Structure 1
Amino acid sequence: MLYIVIPVFNRKEFTKECLLSLQQQSRKDFKTIIVDDGSTDGTAEMLADEFPEVLVMKGHGDLWWTASINMGIREALRLGADRVMTLNNDTLAPTQWIEKMMKASEELPSALIGALNVENGSGKIHYGGEKINWNVYTNTKLIDELPTDQLQGLHLVTHFPGRGLIIPKEVFDKVGLFDQEGLPHYYADYEFTYRANAAGFKIYCNYDAPLLTYPEASGDQALRKRKTFSAYWDHLFGIRGGGNLRNFTRFTLRHCPKKYLPRYIVEGYSRRLLGYWIS
């Protein structure tokens, strides 16, 4: 059984639309767990009134993404899940999305399967998977190297975000859960999937199963737009900062081959320190 785990904090309209899209799926043999980390905007009441079939777990506002997702995963595994999907609430699933994701997962039962992320409205590919190249400090984005006629099917990657990702139970059995102590919000999904890949589990981006997203809705995008020194500080050191230097350092020290480490650290810091102002 597939369990979908969605961490939420406020933004109840996003959550409502996401759950409505899941209700319309052509394949319905899955269950949904919402981890509501102390929402104050009526999310709890909306879930109880409009989505009684959804299992709701509650936090007190201090879980952040990683502890929230772990809470939901533990419950899913306790209830007998053989696959867990991590999903954000600011997404919309087309009608056959679960069917297409599960088809790939059933064909490759030990693999992690991530969804192609497409901007809602424009249809533009927002994220199509990537591969880390430690030696030259770059992540090769598949959409930059794949010919147009190959933008379909499954493509190998080295890591993947938690925004529409199927994870088999055996992965958790072997590598554990997401690192909620070391990486409480950003980077935990990349670190977990790279760890899984290093343990022998292949990761694919499924170009046949586009998931609709709202890229501008992320907390880090809001920080990047403000272009103030306080936002810059939060970008580099805040728990919601996509350029958080601590998170980058922790991930790099864990996984970067030692011979590439000095250059990778220096270039990574440079891009984070300067990139905020020029992106």
Structure 2
Amino acid sequence: MLYLVIPVFNRRAYTRACLLSLREQTCPEFRVIVVDDGSTDGTAQMLTDEFGEVEVVTGDGSLFWTAGVNAGIRRALVHGATRLLTLNNDVLVPPDFVEKMLLWANRRPEAVLGALELDAATGQPIYGGERVNWRTNTSQYLLEELPQTRRHGLHPVTYLPGRGLLIPLSVIESIGLFDEQRLPHYMADYDYTSGARQHGFPVYCNYDAVLSTYPEESGQQQTRRHRSLRGYYQHLFGIRGGGNLRNFTHFALKNCPPRYMPYYLLNGYARRLVGYFLH
């Protein structure tokens, strides 16, 4: 059985829209677990009143993304889940999303799968996976190289985001859960999928399954939109900071090949120190 795990903290309207889109799926062979990490905007009551089919795991506000996802996965495993799919609440999925993910999951049962990401406002593709060159700390973005005629099926990538990530049970049995101790919020998804690939599990972006997101509403974008010294500090050191230096260091030490480590770290630090002001 496929279990969808959705960590949430406030943003009730996004959660409602996401869950309503899941109700429209052509393939009903899944169950949903929402991890509500202490929302204060009425999310808990909405889930009770409007989504009785959804199982809710409650946190106290200290879980953040990684521990929230892990809590949902643990609950799903108790129920006998054979596949897990992590999904952010600020995501909309078309009716065939689960069907298209399971189609390829059945064909490649050991693979970790992501989805092609569209901008909810424009419908245009904005992320379709990447392949990292560890030596130069650069990425080859698939959307920039794939012509329209090849934007279908599976394409191998280095890692994947967690906002539409299908994980077979065999991966969890092999490498465990997400690293909530060292990567409590950002980069835990990239770290996990990169680690799965290093352990021999293929990692693909599934171009036949699409989801829509709101890129301007991400925490990183909002922090950069209102630049300040406090925001800069949060960017570099806060748990939700997209440029968190400690998180980047942990990710690099776990995933970058040792021979490329010195340059990868120095280049990554420089990008984070100045990137806040450039984007």
Give me the TM-score of the superposition, normalised by structure 2.
0.98
Q: Distance in 2 between matches of 1:133 and 1:274?
A: 21
The residue type paired with residue 275 of structure 1 is G
Which structure 2 residue ranges, 5 or more long, are not aligned? none
Residue 233 of structure 1, CA deviation: 1.1
1:192 is the counterpart of 2:192: yes
Q: Distance in 1 between matches of 2:27 and 2:121?
A: 24
The residue type paired with residue 59 of structure 1 is G
> Structure 1 residues 228-237 or 190-199, which shifts more?
228-237
The residue type paired with residue 195 of structure 2 is R
- Given that residues 12 and 41 in structure 2 are in contact (C-alpha distance below 8 angstroms), is that contact kept between their aligned partners in structure 1? yes
Residue 102 of structure 1, CA deviation: 0.8
Q: Distance in 2 between matches of 1:247 and 1:256?
A: 14
CA deviation profile, 1:240-274 (whole Å, cap 9, x unmatched): 11111111111101121111111111111111111
| Residue of structure 1 equivalent to 2:18 | 18
Q: Distance in 1 between matches of 2:269 and 2:147?
A: 32
**Other structure's SS at 2:53 match:** coil
**Other structure's SS at 1:194 match:** helix
Residue 226 of structure 1, CA deviation: 1.1
The residue type paired with residue 82 of structure 1 is T
1:260 is the counterpart of 2:232: no
Q: Distance in 2 between matches of 1:258 and 1:172?
A: 25
1:134 is the counterpart of 2:131: no
Residue 137 of structure 1, CA deviation: 1.1
| Residue of structure 2 equivalent to 1:154 | 154
Number of corresponding residues: 279
1:60 is the counterpart of 2:60: yes
**Other structure's SS at 2:216 match:** helix
1:99 is the counterpart of 2:99: yes
Q: Distance in 1 between matches of 2:217 and 2:255?
A: 29
Same amino acid, percent of matched pairs: 54
Q: Distance in 2 between matches of 1:21 and 1:254?
A: 36
**Other structure's SS at 1:174 match:** helix
| Residue of structure 2 equivalent to 1:172 | 172
> Structure 1 residues 137-146 or 105-114, which shifts more?
137-146
> Structure 1 residues 40-49 or 119-128, which shifts more?
119-128
Q: Distance in 2 between matches of 1:123 and 1:19?
A: 20
Residue 147 of structure 1, CA deviation: 2.2
The residue type paired with residue 211 of structure 2 is L
| Residue of structure 1 equivalent to 2:273 | 273
Q: Distance in 1 between matches of 2:251 and 2:28?
A: 36
CA deviation profile, 1:210-242 (whole Å, cap 9, x unmatched): 101111111111001112121111111111111
> Structure 1 residues 5-14 or 222-231, which shifts more?
222-231
| Residue of structure 2 equivalent to 1:116 | 116
**Other structure's SS at 2:185 match:** coil
**Other structure's SS at 2:160 match:** coil
Q: Distance in 2 between matches of 1:136 and 1:146?
A: 22
Q: Distance in 2 between matches of 1:95 and 1:19?
A: 12
> Structure 1 residues 223-232 or 165-174, which shifts more?
223-232
The residue type paired with residue 50 of structure 1 is E
| Residue of structure 1 equivalent to 2:232 | 232
Residue 121 of structure 1, CA deviation: 2.3
Q: Distance in 1 between matches of 2:44 and 2:254?
A: 38
**Other structure's SS at 2:115 match:** strand
Give me the TM-score of the superposition, normalised by structure 1.
0.98
The residue type paired with residue 48 of structure 2 is A
The residue type paired with residue 32 of structure 2 is T
1:202 is the counterpart of 2:202: yes
Q: Distance in 1 between matches of 2:51 and 2:131?
A: 38
Residue 101 of structure 1, CA deviation: 0.8
Q: Distance in 2 between matches of 1:75 and 1:11?
A: 23
The residue type paired with residue 250 of structure 2 is R
